[in-house]
Structure 1
Amino acid sequence: MELLGLVTTPPGSFLNMKKEPFQSLADLKGVKMWSLPGLASDTLAATGAVVSPGPAVRMYEVISGGVVDAFCCINFESLEVFNVTQYVGAATEVPGHLFAPAFAVFVRNDVMASISPEDQAKIREVSGEKLARYGSFGDPAEAAARQRAIDKGVPIVPASDAFVKELETAFEPVRGSWYAAVDKLGIDGKAALAYYLEQQKAIKAGN
């Protein structure tokens, strides 16, 4: 397999159905929370929340039915798409955010080999970082949706420094599990994550 590119959507935050924004692990303990399944739900469970994971298409049913008290990891534009903005009482944004769905574009080696060298070169010209940067088309729409939520009276507050430190500590076992998993593949997980964060900072700085 050849990885042609990786694209992420705008990230999501903690969304409380009550008017009080989450500002500590104590606030999250025992809270029934919807999230996407997989890494998002595993990570949230480490905070003490009672996570009810499910696909995005089931989000409205779960949230509108009062099955949960809060939800997480969906960006503001998606809240509009899935018609659940009206259930947001308050949002807490964590620096770097909590979760962003990632989509990888692969091609099988035998399929790529069946394509002419000229066309292979053209495919690769629009792949890699160029393909990843195409994913930024969602950023303006996300910013507009976030502003509409503010205009509707949704308080959006940053996580306090103390809350961020609590989250970092709570998430460490999840991070450690990932390090162990990729170590078996011959990958230095800590170095890979450090490189990713460095690149993220560089892109934000316009480099």
Structure 2
Amino acid sequence: MCTLLLVGRSRNGRSSVINSILGQKMLFKTRVPSEVTRLTNEIHNNDEYVVVDGLGIGDKGAEMPGDIQEGLITRKFDNRPTLLHRCGFDALIFVLKYSFRFTKQEKDAVQMVKSIFGENVFRDWGILVFSYGDCYEYDYQESNKTFKDVCMKKRGDIKALFEEVSYRCVLFNNKTKDRDKLEQQRRELSNNIQELK
């Protein structure tokens, strides 16, 4: 079983991505290890994955809850990425909304994750999952380019993030009912997770 920490801004489709990863409606598990409780708010699982839904971060005007913020400020991690491993995580899934607009809020969310888990967390543990894949399919319906091909052509700050995760990027169409397409998305995610091991 693979354990994933899923983070990203609110309204970027985190819940829909969880549903797609699990292949079912979300299941809530009430017993949460205390180490994880301070950093997350819900755990969902199936036979293949445990998905820990992290905080909605980087939203304009939104602040991290005081107890979490205080804990992060007062606690120093010698090798912060090992916190992910110590808590049993196999990967950090960072959810972005497809559009490739890498706003200040998105950049702030990336910096917040780095401040918690260390500067190299995306390089060592990160996978970018883009939600709203149905919009991508509409935009590129007459193109034979893969999602990865399109990602590799991007410039600026988003390109730097793509390079940081070595283009470990997966597009999720959370609206599709096509079982083959849903399975292909999960397989692509699994392949990216295997690259981290």
TM over 0.5: no
Larger Cα Rg: Structure 1 or Structure 2? Answer: 1
- For this structure pair, what is the TM-score category when the shorter chain's length is used for normalisation? 0.3 to 0.5
Structure possessing the higher relative contact order (Cα contacts under 8 Å, 6 or more residues apart): 1
TM-score by length of 1: 0.32
TM-score by length of 2: 0.33
Hey, which of these two has a bigger chunk of helix by percent? 1
